[in-house]
């Protein structure tokens, strides 16, 4: 078998989970419908058959219970990997995540670790009903004690899930559900980047486009279109939302002087706000224009028929490119 395999994102995740479970028999999966059904997105397909009911747990239907018992499982030496069924259903677990999971390492003053991974399929583009298309990353990125990452390619999915599981810290693992079916090459032999590194995915000289998750594809589309109009865009996938690896971003902005952050989440008090504020702080003199944000609007995710209007698309990015170039 070649080291390079072409896999859809969901299957790459599945392979990453399988590798982590094979390597450490205290890695276990917990969630709703992740067992015989393989999860509503089939990310855990086959793992229940392979590893059994004590490694792949179809839990009772209670998210606080899932996260809270996962914490207890770490105390028995396990590394639980939780699947939250959809982004909008993580909130019943919010107390266990913020007041317990995020703080327990600190509360234990270094005498214990709490390696829980919480996988959350997130974001829009699938035309689903309420609570099924949201982007809750800001809540977690604001919370000290959590790490927050989001792969945007099958190769990253494969490696980042393993790195997240290996981390001694709780990791919120955001899976852009729009990408589950996207195929890409996975190098199963060699990890390209560490978990928290951001990555330049396209080189350019006029404007720096930065984003995460499914938005990276949109940024690349916008960059391709902009090229036709004579504008050269650099595109950066931050991959990790907490902490953020600013070096590649700052290096780029120092060259381009112009930057846009794109995200599906509502823009107010968001990851995009933080990146904009930080880039201003660290590259003030380099900026020819304000860092602009292209975000979901500050309204609840609308009925699916309006998601095309709610979610930033390449045109919305280009509109911001025009604005940022007008300075």
Partner 1 sequence: MTPSFEAPAEASDVVRVLAADGSYAPSPTAERYLPLIDALTDAELETFYRDMVVVRAFDRQATNLQRQGQLALWPPSLGQEAAQVGSVRAARTHDHVFPSYREHVVVTTRGVDPIDIIRLMRGLTHGGWNPADHQNTHLYTLVLGAQALHATGLGMGLVFDGRTGTGDPEKDEAVIVYYGDGASSQGDVHEAMVFAASYNTPQVFFLQNNHWAISVPVSTQSRVPLARRGEGYGIPSVRVDGNDVLASYAVSKLALDEARSGAGPRAIEALTYRMGAHTTSDDPTKYRTSDEEESWAERDPIARMRAFLQNRGASASFFDEVDAAAAAYADDVRVRTNALGDIPTEIMFDHVYGDAHPLVQEQQRWLAEYEASFEEGNA
Ligand X SMILES: Cc1ncc(C[n+]2csc(CCOP(=O)(O)OP(=O)(O)O)c2C)c(N)n1
Rounded to whole angstroms, how far apart are CA atoms 135 and 142?
Answer: 14
> How far is residue 168's CA from residue 70's CA, in Å, rounded to a whole number?
14
Instruction: Decide if residue 32 touches ligand X (CB under 6 A).
Output: yes
Q: Is 269 in the site for a second copy (CB under 8 A)?
A: yes
Is residue 78 within 8 Å of residue 25, measured between CB atoms? no
CB 43 within 8 A of CB 72: no
Q: Which is nearer to ligand X, 89 or 139 (CB)?
A: 89
| Residue list 26-55, contact with partner 1 (CB under 8 A) | 28, 32-33, 35-38, 40, 53-54
Residue 102: phi and psi, rounded to 5, are -65, -25
Residue 103 binds a second copy (CB under 8 A)? yes
Asked whether the CA dihedral 165, 12, 174, 226 is positive or negative, the reply is positive
The residue with tokens 């700052």 is 250
Nearer to partner 1, 183 or 243 (CB): 243
If you search the block for the tokens 């080291």, which residue do you land on?
3
Q: Which of residues 56-95 bind ligand X (CB under 6 A)?
A: 61, 63, 85, 89, 92
Determine whether 131 is an active site residue. Answer: no
The mark string for 217-256 relative to partner 1 (x by CB under 8 A, - otherwise) is -------------------------xx-x-----------
Distance, CA of 27 to CA of 147 (rounded, Å): 18
Nearer to partner 1, 183 or 194 (CB): 194
Question: Count of residues for the chain?
Answer: 327
Identified catalytic residue from 26, 125, 131, 132: 132
> Quick check: 118 and 170 in contact, CB under 8 A?
yes
Q: Is 135 in the site for partner 1 (CB under 8 A)?
A: no
CB 314 within 8 A of CB 220: no
**Euclidean distance between CA atoms 102 and 113, whole angstroms:** 11
* Per-residue binder mask for a second copy (CB under 8 A), 198-237, x = binder: ----------------------------------------
Q: Which residues are catalytic?
A: 132
Which residues contact ligand X by CB under 6 A? 32, 61, 63, 85, 89, 92
Which residues contact a second copy by CB under 8 A? 64, 88, 91-92, 94-95, 98-99, 102-103, 106-107, 130-131, 138-139, 141-142, 144-145, 242, 266, 268-274, 276-278, 280-281, 284, 289-293, 297-300, 327
């Amino acid at each position: 078998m070649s080291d390079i395999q072409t896999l859809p994102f969901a299957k790459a995740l599945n392979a990453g989970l399988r590798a982590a479970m094979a390597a450490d028999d205290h890695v276990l999966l917990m969630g709703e419908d992740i067992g015989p059904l393989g999860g509503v997105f089939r990310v855990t397909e086959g793992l229940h058959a392979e590893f059994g009911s004590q490694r792949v747990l179809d839990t009772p239907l209670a998210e606080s219970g899932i996260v809270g018992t996962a914490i207890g499982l770490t105390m028995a030496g396990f590394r639980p990997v939780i699947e939250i069924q959809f982004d909008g259903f993580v909130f019943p677990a919010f107390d266990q995540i913020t007041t317990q999971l995020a703080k327990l390492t600190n509360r234990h003053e270094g005498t214990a670790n709490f390696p829980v991974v919480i996988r959350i399929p997130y974001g829009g583009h699938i035309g689903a009903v309420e609570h099924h298309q949201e982007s809750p990353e800001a809540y977690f990125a604001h919370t000290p004690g959590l790490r927050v990452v989001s792969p945007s390619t099958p190769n990253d999915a494969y490696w980042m899930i393993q790195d997240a599981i290996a981390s001694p810290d709780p990791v919120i693992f955001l899976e852009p559900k729009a990408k589950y079916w996207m195929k890409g090459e996975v190098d199963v032999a060699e990890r390209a980047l560490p978990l928290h590194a951001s990555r330049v995915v396209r080189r350019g000289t006029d404007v720096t486009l930065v984003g995460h998750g499914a938005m990276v594809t949109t940024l690349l589309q916008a960059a391709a279109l902009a090229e036709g109009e004579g504008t050269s865009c650099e595109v950066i996938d931050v991959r990790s939302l907490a902490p953020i690896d600013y070096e590649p971003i700052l290096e780029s902005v120092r060259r381009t002087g112009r930057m846009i952050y794109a995200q599906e989440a509502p823009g107010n008090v968001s990851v995009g706000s933080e990146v904009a504020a930080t880039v201003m702080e660290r590259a003030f003199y380099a900026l020819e224009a304000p860092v602009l944000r292209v975000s979901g609007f500050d309204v609840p995710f609308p009925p699916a028929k309006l998601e095309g209007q709610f979610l930033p698309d390449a045109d919305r990015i280009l509109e911001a490119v025009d604005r940022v170039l007008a300075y």
